[in-house]
Amino acid sequence: MTNHSDWNDRRDRRMAEPGAAEAYETMSLADAKGLETTTHVPDAIPIAHEADHRTDTIGTYDDGQFYADIHGAHRGEPSSFPKGETRWYLYVHTFDSSGNYRTSEIELIKVGGYLDEYRDPALARLAQLVDALPGRAVGDIRIKPFRTTFDGVVFGLIDETEERDGQPWFELYPDCLGFAPPWNGDYST
């Protein structure tokens, strides 16, 4: 579990980025006054690496960037009200250095319940796939929206701005991680 000093260090690093403090102050003032703001949506959405958290297996490799995880999912269109049995997958998505989607290696681990006795073998297999990426290094990534389907399950970074009345929002499926302004790589669950 991350302690508060880790979060404070991370916030300090993010706020030290060019323009971050000014953007934060502008958004805070607008919010305090109840004003609507328009926000530039970046071409590639930043995703911050967080050790021992939901984005701990992301980073770069010699041919670009990767996002890897193990997660439960349901068949059909993404929904906050899933139907059917949970299907557990491990996956590695790859992107070029500009964030364009390349490929996905997706494997079904099991159907139903929890991972339990499948967890350790699944983690070992995921590590094997990630370790096979030449020059692999964990860290922040920036990827463009993409969508792929495997076994009837949607995987991808999907623009859901329209569903949110024009408020910029990108959701990573099946992880259910949401990304929005100020586009600093932090996610909402």
* DSSP β-bridge partners for residue 93: 67, 104
Q: What's the pLDDT score for residue 1? A: 43
- How far apart, in Å, do the first and last CA atoms of the chain sit? 17
42 by Cβ neighbours in 10 Å (0-12 / 13-18 / 19+) ranks as middle
Q: Which of 23-27, 58-62, 122-126, 147-151 has the lowest mean pLDDT?
A: 23-27
Q: Flag whether the pTM goes above 0.85.
A: no
DSSP state of 20: H
3 state SS of 29:
helix
Domain extent listing, the chain: 1-37, 43-179
Mean confidence (pLDDT) of the chain = 86
Residue with tokens 């926000």: 39
Report, as an integer, the average pLDDT of 62-91.
86
| % the chain with pLDDT above 70 | 77
DSSP code per residue over 45-60: EEE---TTSTTSSEEE
pLDDT(177) > 80: yes
pLDDT band at 31, cuts 50/70/90? low
pLDDT band at 34, cuts 50/70/90? low
Instruction: Supply 117's token pair.
Output: 């006795």
Report, as an integer, the average pLDDT of 81-85.
68
DSSP state of 122: H
| % the chain with pLDDT above 90 | 67
pLDDT band at 80, cuts 50/70/90? low
